[in-house]
Amino acid sequence: MALSLDDWVGLDTTVGRIEGRIRELRRAVEQDGVPDLRTSVLTHLAWVPPAYEQAATDTLAGLAERHPSRAILLIPDPDAGSDGLDAEITLRCFSLPGLEAHVCSEVIELRLRGRRSIAPASIVAPLLIADLPVFLRWRGRPSFGEPWTEQLFELVDRLVVDTSEWLDLPGAYAELAAHFDGVAVSDLAWRRMLPWRAELAALWPGIASASRLSVVGPHADGLLLAGWLRSRLGRDIALDLDERSEVEAISVDGRAVSYPAEPPQTSSDQLSDHLDQFARDPVYEAAVRASQEEHVFDLET
């Protein structure tokens, strides 16, 4: 169970003050006399436009216990009307079963007001834990090509997106694919389709000659699944898409695919899976590239 042992809020503050406060927290002797262990396996960055703030906080709460890490939430507010950096630092601690100790890590929430949001990498770089991998969860669609986006990509080892949050698919996949050589990419939409991919793989060898995939589900999920089949089977596969918020049914050449037995994962579980991966995922990258060769037959028309 998480305990928030300490909180610090700094309005219109500086990175230097934030670093100082983190050091103070590290040295702090716990009032309850229980020793704290600082353990981190990564730095978890999150780019969180205000519309995603609540969702990001909820995911983080379910994640921190599994991946003790310094979490840095970047909340851009370019239209704030003033320039400045506001910070909130929370020390989150978890008790260890059978041990008289807590495991603690910091959650740093940074609000980037006005012009402070145009160079976020320069704010974050001093706050990363040295030598540990850096994962960047980008909420919404990244503005590919913008300097602040590209600078953040250069800083991190892995970019985690959820392309089902993107509204301009499949076009945006081309922009994403152009970054594959620069940063390893994970896609939560791709992870959600894993049980379905396992079901489709079980149809081998019959599926080798498939020519049409029908998906009742999100746009991104359908595109990625079709792209995956095209790239793995090396053949053109048409996609019939009936858009819904969750995958409800999938069929291949008119034959329904069994609904996977695996229960749906929480957003924290999905992100947690990606935080265990470090290498590029060539199967995903090929699926993204092939998803752009889509043949969507709109069932509504």
Partner 1 sequence: MAVTEQNEQSENPLLEGLRLRRTPEPCALVIFGASGDLTRRKLFPALYALALRRLLPEQFAIVGVARSEETHEAFRDRMEEAVREFGRDAFQQDVWDSLAEGIRYVATDFADEEGEDCVDACLAELDEERGTRGNRVFYLAVPPAAIGTLIQELGERRGPDGWKRLVIEKPFGRDLATAQELNAKLAEFFTEDEIFRIDHYLGKETVQNMLALRFANGIFEPVWNRQFIDHVQITVGESIGIGSRAGFYEEAGAVRDVFQNHLLQLVALTAMEPPIDFTADSVRNEKLKVLKSLHTPGPKSVVRGQYGPGFVEGVEVTGYRDEEDVAPDSETDTFVAAKLYVDNWRWADTPFYVRTGKRLPRRETTISIQFQRAPHPPFEDIASEGLRPNVLVVHIQPDEGVSLEIGAKVPGQGMTIRSVHMDFLYGGAFRTGLPEAYERLILDAMLGDATLFTRTDEVEEQWALVDAIAAAWKRDRASFPNYAAGTPGPAAADELLARDSRSWRR
Cβ of residue 194: shortest distance to partner 1, in angstroms?
Answer: 7
| Residue reference for tokens 């991919």 | 197
261 is a contact residue toward partner 1 (CB under 8 A): yes
Backbone angles phi, psi at 160, to 5 degrees: -115, 120
Burial of 42 (0-12, 13-18, 19+ CB in 10 A): buried
29 is a contact residue toward partner 1 (CB under 8 A): no
Judging by DSSP bridges, how do beta strands 158-161 and 184-187 pair with one another? parallel
Rounded Cα gap, residues 80 and 83, in angstroms = 7
DSSP 5: E
Applying CB under 8 A, which part among 6-14, 21-29, 119-127, 198-206 lies near partner 1? 198-206
User: Contacting partner 1 (CB under 8 A), which of 28, 178, 283, 299?
Assistant: 283
Q: Position 195: which residue type?
A: P
Q: Which strand (E) or helix (H) includes residue 283?
A: helix 282-291
Tokens of residue 70, six digits: 């310094």
177 is a contact residue toward partner 1 (CB under 8 A): no
239 is a contact residue toward partner 1 (CB under 8 A): no
142 is a contact residue toward partner 1 (CB under 8 A): no
Tokens of residue 258, six digits: 């069994």
CB 220 within 8 A of CB 169: yes
**Closer of 12 and 262 to partner 1 (Cβ):** 262
Applying CB under 8 A, which part among 22-30, 93-101, 141-149, 211-219 lies near partner 1? 93-101
179 is a contact residue toward partner 1 (CB under 8 A): no
User: Contacting partner 1 (CB under 8 A), which of 127, 155, 200, 237?
Assistant: 200
The terminus-to-terminus CA distance of the chain in angstroms comes to 51
170 is a contact residue toward partner 1 (CB under 8 A): no
199 is a contact residue toward partner 1 (CB under 8 A): yes
Size of the site for partner 1 (CB under 8 A): 38
Residue span 49-88 as binding mask against partner 1, x where in contact by CB under 8 A, dash where not: ----------------xxxx--------------------
User: Contacting partner 1 (CB under 8 A), which of 28, 96, 178, 299?
Assistant: 96
Cβ of residue 292: shortest distance to partner 1, in angstroms?
Answer: 20
Backbone angles phi, psi at 86, to 5 degrees: -110, 140
**Could you tell me where the beta strands, DSSP code E, fall in 36-115?**
36-38, 42-47, 69-77, 84-95, 102-113
Cβ of residue 117: shortest distance to partner 1, in angstroms?
Answer: 33
Comparing CA positions, the residue from 207, 232, 211, 208 lying closest to residue 284 is 232
Backbone angles phi, psi at 240, to 5 degrees: -100, 125
260 is a contact residue toward partner 1 (CB under 8 A): yes
233 is a contact residue toward partner 1 (CB under 8 A): yes
Binding site for partner 1 (CB under 8 A): 37, 39, 41, 65-68, 94, 96-99, 101, 103, 194-195, 197-202, 204-205, 207, 228-229, 232-234, 258, 260-262, 281-284
